[in-house]
Amino acid sequence: MPAPDYSSIPFSALEGCKNRDPMFQPSQHDVRRFFCETYRKHVGQLPLTPMEATAADWISQHPEYFDELADEAAALAAVYDVEAGRTNPFLHLSMHLSITEQIAIDQPSGIKQAHALLSRRLGSAHEAQHQVMECLGEMIWASQRSGLPPDGERYLECVRQRATRT
């Protein structure tokens, strides 16, 4: 199954916004530098922080992104337009990290179980994450469109429905 394209979700939704605390809301360039640096360290077999190790695990499962991650200058300048049909590797990897953290702390409550059920149904935790990404993307898009806070219950219900489809 091909990776979904989240180009319709504004990149700032997960990459962060400018003029914010970089620890909690990194800029687009901060996120891109993080993934490029993690890739460089991973390829060079250099020590990784725990977050980098998690990111490196996801990077290694997406060899289609290696060229973009290897060129930081190009990564910082890249524009991922829907019209161009380019998948945004930084958004995709950021979503993997976000979902991994959600599962680890079970927030929203029940996401860990729903992901486990979906993983069993699909036979792949990675493919299950791609399905969860669809739900996460829908939640972010709906929130941005409505101006309301993200609806965690709707998100969780979306994942549960995918996990119990026959």
pTM: 0.83
Identify the pLDDT of residue 4. 42
Q: pLDDT of 81-129, one tens digit each?
A: 877 888 899 999 999 999 999 999 999 999 999 999 999 999 999 999 9
Place of tokens 């992901």: 115
Cα separation of 29 and 145, whole Å? 25
Ordered by start, the domain boundaries in the chain are 1-87, 106-166
DSSP single-letter state for residue 9: S
